Amino acid sequence: MINNRLLKIIGPMMINNRYVGKYLELVLSPLLIISKWFISSNFSVLSPQIQNLARRAGENAGSESENKRNIVFVNRNFMQGQVGGVNFLIALMAFGLKRRGHRVRILCESPRPWPKESSFQGVQIIGISPRLFFMDHSSPPFYAGWSTSVKTYLRDEAEGGEVINVFATIAGLETVGTEELSDNVNSICYLVTDHIIHKFGTMTKPTEGSRVAKFIKSEREFLMSPSLRIIGDSKAIVDDLSKVLALPELPKRSGILYIGWPKNDEKSNVKLPVGRLVTCIGSVSFRKGTRTLIEAWLSICSDPMLADVNLLICGPTSDDHESENLILNAPVSSRITRIKVMSEAEKNYILSKTDVVAIPSHYESFGIVGVEAMQMGCQIVASHIGGLPEVLEGVGKFFETGNSSSLAATLKEVLTGQSTTPIQAISNRADHFDFERMLQNLEAELR
């Protein structure tokens, strides 16, 4: 077996090479799509997490809307494991709007070469296959095949004359130019955490002619479309993408739709270590700041006043097994508890027993876990990056992103009571992210 670290080095070098990459990806993309057809898949079954979110969305959506709309959510990976913040967000919006009386469809990738269809609680889930071969497309081939299929589907649907509201994140619809769609298609792009910012930050520019440079070019062209309605989940993501994509007019053109998260009081007991708890919820990865957290934890464990404090890391492993090994081999691993899978009820129980929630991410456009923590009345220590200061305004305690010493010092201040936020202030801030209010604000963008 080829070493995973070697693949991470050689793979991007080959794909990003301006001479080799274009033709290599043209060959690899169809092969990757075809390989998925041979993987066992039950398209008609939603994951337990999505089913739970659908139920919560229905319970918290409020009353039916007077004006019923036709909405298509575009999310390529919705039925492919359904793990991730964007998938969860699309599920909440889709099932919440359905509960309010709208016609709702989710357009995703079919696991087979033919179309697949399913439904859950009245929401149609439609699977279409990406095109295998195409000519002259602005996006890298793996994404271009999907975008071409989406465009074809929307064109066919629009022929009936009914207004269609198309809702997608920047990654989901980045290459479907709105000028190529009819006037009865209301295309809404929701700017959330972006893959380019995750890889390069907001200051470093990718190599000219690379695959990522091509992404930037296609995103710029898409976001410059005058008929596109642009919304960000925070002011920060709009400002940061404006810098990365060199689009100074983007903030003026964009609205803000803060994510609302349905409250959930269900709790299910989990065996936890005795003593005080610092909890980090999210995938174990460099992007989520796992390494920074472990380095800070070494400092916490050296303080005798904090000898009763334990670290709880909850969430799956992404593609960063080095961070997972860092947790396992840490000198203070006896004071670290790892939970890879948990239900929403178990998460609520963990948060109810947590003294401090740590959000050490290297970038978050919004930070759902911050809202969940506020709803449970938790003290929060977070990176001063992206939308986190905006979302946690007045209640979060912030440290310098990526600086383990700064994180350790801030955690110590909260754990020792030197710097804490009143519970009522946390509760008041959590109310700003009401789920029904978010759906009402989203409805105002529909036609």
Q: Which of 320-324, 345-349, 384-388, 412-416 comes out lowest in average pLDDT?
A: 320-324
pLDDT at 89 over 60: yes
Note the pLDDT of residue 62. Answer: 95
What domain range includes position 305?
A: 276-433
Are 342 and 234 within one domain? no
Spatial CA neighbour of 432 closest among 366, 359, 354: 366
Q: Confirm whether 86 is domain-assigned.
A: yes
Distance CA(33)–CA(30), nearest Å, equals: 5
Q: Which helix (H) or strand (E) holds 415?
A: helix 404-415
Q: At what angle do helices 435-443 and 48-60 cross, to 10 degrees?
A: 80
Q: How many domains does the chain have?
A: 2
Are 33 and 83 within one domain? yes
| Residue type for position 284 | V
Are 170 and 21 within one domain? yes
Asked whether 383 and 291 are in contact (CB, 8 A), the reply is: no
Q: C-alpha angle with apex 389: 385 to 391, nearest 5 degrees?
A: 120
Token digits of residue 215: 């992404």
Close Cβ partners of 127 (under 8 Å, ≥ 6 residues apart):
43, 79, 108, 109, 110, 111, 112, 115, 116, 117, 118
The verdict on pTM exceeding 0.85 is yes
Are 254 and 298 within one domain? no
**Tens-place pLDDT, residues 288-321:** 999 999 999 999 999 999 999 999 999 887 667 7
Q: Please, what is the average pLDDT of the chain? A: 85
Distance CA(190)–CA(170), nearest Å, equals: 6
Instruction: Specify which residues 186 forms β-bridges with.
Output: 165
- Residue 334 DSSP code: G
The rounded percent of the chain whose pLDDT value lies above 70 is: 83
Q: Confirm whether 1 is domain-assigned.
A: no
Are 213 and 283 within one domain? no
Note the pLDDT of residue 298. Answer: 92
Are 150 and 251 within one domain? yes
- Which CATH number does the domain housing residue 280 bear? 3.40.50.2000
**Tens-place pLDDT, residues 326-358:** 888 888 889 999 999 898 899 999 999 999 999
Token digits of residue 327: 């947790």
**Tens-place pLDDT, residues 105-143:** 999 988 888 999 999 999 999 999 887 765 555 556 667
Of 420 and 86, the structure prediction assigns the larger pLDDT to 420
- pLDDT-based confidence at residue 1 (cuts at 50, 70, 90): very low
Note the pLDDT of residue 7. Answer: 44
Are 190 and 325 within one domain? no
Are 288 and 360 within one domain? yes
Buried b (16+ CB within 10 A) or exposed e, 60-98: bbeeebeeebbbbbbbbbbbbebebbbbbbbbbbbbbbb
Are 257 and 320 within one domain? no
Phi-psi group of 402: left, alpha or beta (phi > 0 → left; psi -120 to 50 → alpha; rest → beta): left
Q: Confirm whether 268 is domain-assigned.
A: no
**Tens-place pLDDT, residues 253-285:** 999 999 999 988 899 999 999 999 999 999 888
User: Is residue 16 exposed (0-12), middle (13-18) or buried (19+ Cβ within 10 Å)?
Assistant: middle
Are 72 and 210 within one domain? yes
Q: Confirm whether 269 is domain-assigned.
A: no
Q: Confirm whether 4 is domain-assigned.
A: no
Q: Which helix (H) or strand (E) holds 59?
A: helix 48-60
- What mean pLDDT comes out for the span 224-251? 90
pLDDT at 175 over 50: no
Q: Map residue 5 onto helix, strand or coil.
A: helix
Strand runs (DSSP E) across 96-160, as ranges? 103-109, 116-120, 123-128
Are 21 and 164 within one domain? yes
User: What residue has token string 């519970």?
Assistant: 423
The rounded percent of the chain whose pLDDT value lies above 90 is: 52
Of 146 and 430, the structure prediction assigns the larger pLDDT to 430
- What mean pLDDT comes out for the span 388-412? 97
Are 153 and 255 within one domain? yes
